[in-house]
Structure 1
Amino acid sequence: MSTRAAAWWPLLVAIERVVDATTAIHVEVAHGAEAPPAGQTRSIAQQLRELGGAVRTRPGPGAVSAAAETADHRVLAALRQEVAGAGAVLAPWGDAGPDPNP
């Protein structure tokens, strides 16, 4: 693996965890769990848009905005945690992107 690819690996893992948490929410709700409130869904959707935009537009964006909701619906808690984790991976890079030679 190239050093550049290795530098991006933590973010790839974090994004995969976000996808897994999103899938788990869908499965839980499809199997009868109560759907989260619309306001909390909009809040996490905004964080996901910010995360996606940050990854697309700059090599090293800052952290994704903090959670607007303090008491997430049960099915959103894991997703919110994974989105925050992905944002935390991005934060130390600043505008320069990941260091290909850590």
Structure 2
Amino acid sequence: MTGTGTVTGAALPLRILIVDDHAVVRAGLRALVEGEPGLEVIGESGDGEEAVRIAGRLRPDVVLMDLRAMSPRSASRRPRRCPGSRCAWCDCRRR
């Protein structure tokens, strides 16, 4: 998947929204993502309801999301609110 457009024939960066309820995790993910060419963090959120609003406004290409940050209600609404985004779910709970 490439970014949402082109500039003089070059693909724009893949635009990423990071969602996790722990600020230190968001900071670590941001550092990893921003260190890679072709990737751009366009926003962060600490909870699912806010993430839905941000995704609707910014239209990221990819949402990196910790499942614990999402309530079942907001998780079920996200795809309808931002249909052009892909979502990578991460569940870091110990089993």
Is the TM-score greater than 0.5?
no
Structure with the higher fraction of residues in helix conformation: 1
Using the size of structure 1 for normalisation, the TM-score is: 0.25
Using the size of structure 2 for normalisation, the TM-score is: 0.26
Structure with the higher fraction of residues in strand conformation: 2
* Structure with greater Cα Rg: 1
